[in-house]
Every structure is written in C-alpha cells, then in structure tokens.
Amino acid sequence: MRMRAALAVSLLVLAAGATAVAEEVRSVAVVTQVQGAVFYRTSITLSNGNATVTTPVEMLFSYRSPADGTFQTTTLALNPALGPHRVRFFDDIIQAFKDAGRIRAADASRGLFGTLLVTYAALDIRAEAGVVARTYSPGPTGGTLGIAYEGRCFCETGSRFRVLAAGRDGDFGSDGSTRANLGIVNEGFGPSDVRITYYDGATGVQLRQFFLGDVIGHDLEENEVYQINNVFNDSAIPASVNTLVIQVEAQTADVYVSGYIVQLDNTTQDGSFFFGFEE
C-alpha cells in the first residue's frame, strides 16, 4: 500500500502548521453498464461532509473501448459544485457520462466497464469526501440485487508488491452454488503487465502462473480494470478444486495494483464484493 508515503506527507504538512487538505481523490475500482448474465449498472453516491465549504468535484472515467480496443479516458464535472452537507446521486453513472456527451460516438451505444476517480478540489479533511458505488442488476421478481463498495482514498490504494485474495466455487450449503470473478486494477503510475498465480486452497500447490498481458494482449494502463470471470473455469484448475488463493503482482517498478473478488450466486446472480489484501 502507498499509505506510508501518504502518512509521511501528512506529517510534514502538520509539522509546517497546515491542517487543510486542498484536494482529495477517491478511487472506485469498477463502474459498469454491461449485459452479462444479467444487465449490470453502477450507481454512485457523492457526499460532502464539510459544514461550510462548497467544493468542485470532477469524475474521471477510464475504460477499454469495446469498439476498437483503445484505452479511453473522459471527465465529467458536477454542476453545480457540491455544497456543504450535500449529496449527489447517479443511479447509472455511465449513462450520466453518455447523456452529457462525454463518451465518444464509437462507444456511446455500447456496454462499458471501467474505473472512476473522483476528485474533490477543496475540503478540510479526507473523511469529508464520500464516494460509494453500487453495482446492481434487476431482481428475478422485481427490485434489484447489488453489491456496494466504497471509493477508497487514492493515497491508500494498491500495492507495488503482492495482492492476495481467495475465492471459492461450487455448492453453497443446501442453498445453491457460487462462482468467483477476479478483478485487477492498475492504480498508477504508468502501464504495467501483471503476474497472476493460482494456488489450490486445500493443498497450497501452485496450479497456474501467467501474465495478464498474454491473455488480453496489452499492458494494463493506469486506472484500467480487467475482470476475469469465473476464475475456476480454467483448464489448469482441476474440477476437484473448489478454493483458490490468488496472488497478483505488478511487473513494472513503482506501479501500484489492487485486486478484488466478486463471489456470485449462480442462480440469482447476487454478488459479494471484497478487495484483496495489499502488501
């Protein structure tokens, strides 16, 4: 994690007699509007916890184009700026970018999958910048099913070393079965390939090690996310294996990567989201 560097900077600022944080950036690992097993989209809730300050807020959406495979970034600023103790909600953040004309024509009618950086330009402390994402889908009998996760402080996301996570596959007691998706996020700075290693969760034996670039044909760009759906559907993983320890490592010096697991119910498509542990 980059928290130690951020803490060192904070201590220097305090030593100089200043307490204000002029800018706060939150990293949302994944936002989507895509047809998968069901139709998934992501809502975003932004909040300003400051009692007196109105802050400009800008969102940076980064994604790999489904039209031509190019990596794209685009921004959308809140208008008006976010006032003190105010909340702004988007029930479909990618649609908000599309409606504002911020997505290029080649991608405007396509399903999109990417990351979101949210920058608050003027707040006193980090805790005042609130970002929560919820990726959800229609429920089978009405309503929605979803997973919620916070936008983490960009100063604390990712590791230059190992990210470790676990996933499982198969029966879930007497109530159905589950599968696991793995997401990998380049949290900066610069592009990098990523090495991924699967270990049998029952024996500790290494089952497979590979480079993500060999699968997707390019390095992972800064602020890019790639998701491997149903990681157990891999020829290197025997059918008898139903738990994995997964290790993710950036291959470029000083590039930070993070990872997440989405554990999905095979019947309802309801999911649980959790980040990997960052060394």
* 17 and 61 inside one domain: yes
- End-to-end CA separation in angstroms for the chain: 6
How far is residue 28's CA from residue 94's CA, in Å, rounded to a whole number? Answer: 13
Whether 264 and 179 map to the same domain: the answer is yes
Contact 148, 31 (CB under 8 A): no
User: Which of 124, 156, 188 is at the close of a domain?
Assistant: 156
**What is the spatial distance between Cα 186 and Cα 113, in angstroms, rounded to a whole number?**
14
Residue 142 has pLDDT above 50, yes or no: yes
In this structure, the answer to whether residues 186 and 150 fall within a common structural domain is no
Counted domains in the chain: 2
61 and 118 co-located in one domain = yes
* Residue carrying the six token digits 């070393």: 161
Q: What is the pLDDT of residue 1?
A: 62
- Categorize the per-residue pLDDT at 13 as very low, low, confident or very high, splitting at 50, 70 and 90: very low
Do residues 257 and 249 touch, judged by C-beta distance below 8 A? yes
Domain boundary among 156, 182, 201: 156
Least confident of 61-65, 176-180, 181-185, 202-206: 176-180
The pTM score is 0.90
Cα 263 to chain centroid, rounded: 15
* Residues contacting residue 17 through CB under 8 Å, at least 6 positions apart: none
Give the residue from 72, 74, 136 showing the smallest Cα distance to 100.
Answer: 74
Check which CATH number belongs to the domain holding 211 and give it: 2.60.290.11
12: which residues sit within 8 A by CB, 6+ positions away?
A: none
Q: How far is CA 39 from CA 21, 102, 146, 230, 271, in A?
A: 39, 22, 11, 17, 13
Within this chain, do residues 108 and 203 fall inside the same structural domain, yes or no? no
pLDDT at 8 over 70: no
Confidence of residue 274 (pLDDT cuts 50, 70, 90): very high
Contact criterion met (CB below 8 Å) for 251 and 192: yes
In degrees, to the nearest 5, what angle opens at C-alpha 97 toward C-alphas 96 and 100? Answer: 85
Last residue of a domain, one of 107, 133, 156: 156
Determine how β-strand 129-138 pairs with β-strand 144-150. Answer: antiparallel
Q: Is there a single domain that holds both residue 8 and residue 142?
A: yes
Q: What is the pLDDT of residue 270?
A: 81
Residue range of the domain that includes 249:
162-278
Shared domain check, 25 and 147: yes
Sign of CA dihedral 134, 137, 138, 140: negative
DSSP 276: P
